[in-house]
Amino acid sequence: MTMTVAERAALLSRVTLFAGLPEASLQALAELAGEAEFGDGDAIVLQGQVGTGLFVIVAGAARVVRGGEELDRLGPGDYLGELAVIDRMPRMASVFAVGPTTCLALASWDLFRRVDGDPELVHSLLRGLALRVRHLSEHHSH
């Protein structure tokens, strides 16, 4: 699968982590993103490894596994690997492709370079993670 920059930007605009990002920022991210193909059962990220990339699923599916237990299933538009990219600490879970899966991959060094001159990008990441923190506390209370 080869996507144009415009197609990548359109896909990124639908990811909650990048919601509301101005067109120019999306475009710049889309230009930095690479496409990565995974076969059934391939590891997209591995628990315990230091992360160097953030992935957005374009097509296919993935399962999130920690300590042998499946925690979640992901599909097109879902993202993974964002925490390790921000803090450069080891991954908390592994994610494996289910069937042939295509992802957009953003390298941490590219993302960091963008972050410096693109406060809107940091703002959208902050908002995306705030949403996750809120979901955590809601799940906790119900």
Closer to other proteins by CB, 26 or 64: give it. Answer: 64
Closer to other proteins by CB, 48 or 140: give it. Answer: 140
Q: By CB under 8 A, tell whether 89 contacts other proteins.
A: yes
- Nearest residue to 45 (alpha-carbon basis) of 90, 85, 81: 81
- 69: tokens are 């237990």
Q: What are phi and psi of 48, to 5 degrees?
A: 90, -20
Q: Which of 35, 87, 99, 109 binds other proteins (CB under 8 A)?
A: 87
Q: Greatest CA span in the chain, whole angstroms?
A: 44
Residue 59 beta carbon to other proteins: minimum distance, rounded to whole angstroms: 19
Q: By CB under 8 A, tell whether 29 contacts other proteins.
A: no
Residue 82 beta carbon to other proteins: minimum distance, rounded to whole angstroms: 8
Site of tokens 């097509």: 59
HSE toward the beta carbon, residue 137, CA cutoff 13 A: 5
H-only helix segments in 33-118: 82-87, 108-117
Q: By CB under 8 A, tell whether 114 contacts other proteins.
A: no
Interface ranges with other proteins (CB under 8 A): 64, 66, 71-72, 78, 83, 86-87, 89, 92-93, 115-116, 119-120, 122-123, 125-127, 129-141
